[in-house]
Amino acid sequence: MKEDIKDEQDIKLLVDSFYAKVNEDDLLGPIFNGFANVNWEHHLPIMYSFWSSVLFGTMAYKGQPFPKHMRLPIDRQHFARWVMLFNETADELFEGDKTKELKQKATSIAQVFQMKMGLLGIIGKEVSF
Protein backbone atom coordinates (compact mmCIF):
# COMPACT_ATOMS: atom_id res chain seq x y z
CA MET A 1 0.00 0.00 0.00
CA LYS A 2 1.23 3.47 -0.93
CA GLU A 3 1.26 6.34 1.51
CA ASP A 4 -0.37 9.72 1.04
CA ILE A 5 1.56 12.90 0.29
CA LYS A 6 2.60 14.18 3.70
CA ASP A 7 5.53 16.61 3.45
CA GLU A 8 7.99 18.61 1.38
CA GLN A 9 10.04 15.52 0.53
CA ASP A 10 6.96 13.93 -1.02
CA ILE A 11 6.31 17.08 -3.05
CA LYS A 12 9.92 17.01 -4.27
CA LEU A 13 9.63 13.34 -5.27
CA LEU A 14 6.39 14.01 -7.14
CA VAL A 15 7.72 17.09 -8.95
CA ASP A 16 11.02 15.44 -9.90
CA SER A 17 9.26 12.30 -11.13
CA PHE A 18 6.66 14.28 -13.05
CA TYR A 19 9.14 16.53 -14.83
CA ALA A 20 11.32 13.53 -15.70
CA LYS A 21 8.27 12.27 -17.64
CA VAL A 22 7.66 15.71 -19.16
CA ASN A 23 11.25 15.80 -20.40
CA GLU A 24 10.76 12.47 -22.17
CA ASP A 25 7.32 13.27 -23.56
CA ASP A 26 7.14 13.85 -27.32
CA LEU A 27 4.47 16.56 -26.98
CA LEU A 28 5.54 18.44 -23.85
CA GLY A 29 9.30 17.93 -23.95
CA PRO A 30 9.84 20.23 -26.96
CA ILE A 31 7.79 23.00 -25.32
CA PHE A 32 9.72 22.89 -22.05
CA ASN A 33 13.17 22.16 -23.46
CA GLY A 34 12.91 23.82 -26.85
CA PHE A 35 10.59 26.78 -26.95
CA ALA A 36 10.71 27.71 -23.24
CA ASN A 37 14.31 26.50 -22.79
CA VAL A 38 13.62 25.79 -19.11
CA ASN A 39 16.57 25.94 -16.74
CA TRP A 40 15.63 22.89 -14.67
CA GLU A 41 18.06 23.68 -11.84
CA HIS A 42 16.18 26.94 -11.34
CA HIS A 43 12.67 25.75 -12.26
CA LEU A 44 12.34 22.65 -10.07
CA PRO A 45 12.78 24.44 -6.70
CA ILE A 46 10.13 26.94 -7.83
CA MET A 47 7.79 24.04 -8.55
CA TYR A 48 8.50 22.52 -5.11
CA SER A 49 7.43 25.84 -3.55
CA PHE A 50 4.42 26.18 -5.83
CA TRP A 51 2.98 22.73 -5.10
CA SER A 52 3.80 22.99 -1.41
CA SER A 53 1.84 26.25 -1.32
CA VAL A 54 -1.05 24.70 -3.26
CA LEU A 55 -1.30 21.57 -1.13
CA PHE A 56 -0.08 22.61 2.31
CA GLY A 57 -0.74 26.37 2.24
CA THR A 58 2.90 27.11 3.05
CA MET A 59 2.90 30.40 1.10
CA ALA A 60 6.42 29.49 -0.04
CA TYR A 61 5.61 30.36 -3.65
CA LYS A 62 5.80 34.05 -4.47
CA GLY A 63 5.00 34.36 -8.12
CA GLN A 64 2.42 34.51 -10.86
CA PRO A 65 2.46 31.33 -12.91
CA PHE A 66 -0.10 32.26 -15.54
CA PRO A 67 1.71 35.08 -17.43
CA LYS A 68 4.66 32.80 -18.16
CA HIS A 69 2.34 30.40 -19.96
CA MET A 70 0.72 33.00 -22.22
CA ARG A 71 3.62 33.10 -24.69
CA LEU A 72 3.89 29.34 -25.07
CA PRO A 73 2.65 27.65 -28.26
CA ILE A 74 0.27 25.33 -26.40
CA ASP A 75 -3.31 24.22 -26.80
CA ARG A 76 -5.84 21.93 -25.12
CA GLN A 77 -3.88 18.86 -26.19
CA HIS A 78 -0.85 20.07 -24.22
CA PHE A 79 -2.92 20.72 -21.11
CA ALA A 80 -4.59 17.32 -21.39
CA ARG A 81 -1.19 15.59 -21.62
CA TRP A 82 0.15 17.65 -18.69
CA VAL A 83 -2.80 16.67 -16.48
CA MET A 84 -2.60 13.04 -17.57
CA LEU A 85 1.13 12.81 -16.75
CA PHE A 86 0.69 14.68 -13.48
CA ASN A 87 -2.12 12.41 -12.30
CA GLU A 88 -0.34 9.29 -13.52
CA THR A 89 2.78 10.27 -11.58
CA ALA A 90 0.82 11.06 -8.43
CA ASP A 91 -1.01 7.71 -8.65
CA GLU A 92 2.22 5.78 -9.17
CA LEU A 93 3.78 7.26 -6.05
CA PHE A 94 0.98 7.99 -3.59
CA GLU A 95 -2.61 7.37 -2.59
CA GLY A 96 -4.94 9.06 -0.16
CA ASP A 97 -6.87 12.26 0.48
CA LYS A 98 -3.97 14.68 -0.06
CA THR A 99 -3.09 12.95 -3.32
CA LYS A 100 -6.69 13.26 -4.52
CA GLU A 101 -6.74 16.90 -3.46
CA LEU A 102 -3.53 17.65 -5.34
CA LYS A 103 -4.80 15.98 -8.53
CA GLN A 104 -8.05 17.96 -8.31
CA LYS A 105 -6.12 21.20 -7.85
CA ALA A 106 -3.81 20.42 -10.78
CA THR A 107 -6.83 19.77 -13.01
CA SER A 108 -8.49 23.00 -11.83
CA ILE A 109 -5.34 25.02 -12.49
CA ALA A 110 -5.12 23.59 -16.01
CA GLN A 111 -8.76 24.48 -16.65
CA VAL A 112 -8.35 28.04 -15.36
CA PHE A 113 -5.26 28.55 -17.53
CA GLN A 114 -7.14 27.27 -20.57
CA MET A 115 -10.09 29.56 -19.87
CA LYS A 116 -7.77 32.55 -19.52
CA MET A 117 -6.07 31.59 -22.80
CA GLY A 118 -9.41 31.24 -24.59
CA LEU A 119 -8.91 27.54 -25.24
CA LEU A 120 -12.09 26.19 -23.68
CA GLY A 121 -14.63 27.91 -25.86
CA ILE A 122 -18.06 28.40 -24.34
CA ILE A 123 -18.07 28.66 -20.56
CA GLY A 124 -20.16 25.94 -19.04
CA LYS A 125 -19.32 23.47 -21.79
CA GLU A 126 -18.14 20.16 -20.38
CA VAL A 127 -14.37 19.82 -20.34
CA SER A 128 -12.78 16.43 -20.65
CA PHE A 129 -9.16 15.39 -20.49
Q: What is the pLDDT of residue 13?
A: 98
In the annotated binding site, the residues are 42
Widest CA span in the chain: 42
Binding site listing for heme: 42
pLDDT along the chain (129 residues), means of 10: 96 98 96 91 95 92 78 91 98 98 96 90 50
Taking the C-alpha atoms of residue 56 and residue 51, their distance in angstroms, rounded to an integer, is 8
Total-model pTM: 0.88
Inter-residue contact 18 to 89 (CB < 8 Å): yes
For the chain, domains (ranges, CATH) are 8-117 (1.10.490.10)
Q: What is the pLDDT of residue 8?
A: 96
pLDDT of 61: 85
Contact 31, 74 (CB under 8 A): yes
pLDDT value at position 77?
96
Q: What value does the CA radius of gyration of the chain take, rounded to a whole number of Å? A: 14
Q: How would you label 57-67 residue by residue, b for 16+ Cβ within 10 Å and e otherwise?
A: eeebbeeeeee
pLDDT at 121: 63
